[in-house]
Every structure is written in structure tokens, then in C-alpha cells.
Amino acid sequence: MSSKENAAVNQLFEKLECRYALRVLWALRDGHPQTFRLLQDSVGGITPNTLNTRIKELRECGLLDHGSDGYTVTPVGQDLLKRLSDVQAFATRWSAARVKK
């Protein structure tokens, strides 16, 4: 991987590593808009201040948008979630293997 590619991956990971960032995106993965309150409930355990911060950051980096019906994932965000969709299958297998131990 070139240094330019590595820098791009690092930038993306920096955004996604922020507390609750992935959970906010994941809560919107079905494509249905959510109001602030519904999104807060969907994420669970997130304070309004933290949710506001994550929304602002995710909007600035082009992964989240706000329309008349609420917050949605942008096409770029949908592409990211599509690429992360294997995480759910992996997590299920991983969790089941841990329980067997």
C-alpha cells in the first residue's frame, strides 16, 4: 500500500474510531431517515451532545446528510456500509465461537 493510500485509510479510521460514529452510521443502514430523537434511541446510550458532535463530523466528511424527514446516510456512506456489511456475519460467527469456549 502506498503512503497516499495508507494516509486515506488512516483518515477514514480516524473518523470511524470516534465514539459512536460507526453506531450512528449502522443505525441508519436500512436507508430510512431518522429524526434526532429516533436516532438517539437507535444508537442507545449516546448523549445528545455526543450525537450532535458525531452528526456534525459525519456530515462534514460526507457520510451523513439531513433532509426534511431526518438524518440519512449519503451515497458515499451507503458504499461504506455495504463494504462493512460482512462485519455482521463475522460478528455472529465470532460471538458464537467465543460462547463455545
**Which stretches of the chain score pLDDT less than 70?**
101
8 A C-beta contact, residue 27 and residue 73: no
**Residue reference for cell 424527514:** 69
pTM score: 0.85
- Cα atoms found within 13 Å of the Cα of residue 83, Cβ hemisphere only: 7
Nearest C-alpha neighbor of 36 from the set 72, 85, 63: 72
8 A C-beta contact, residue 45 and residue 27: no
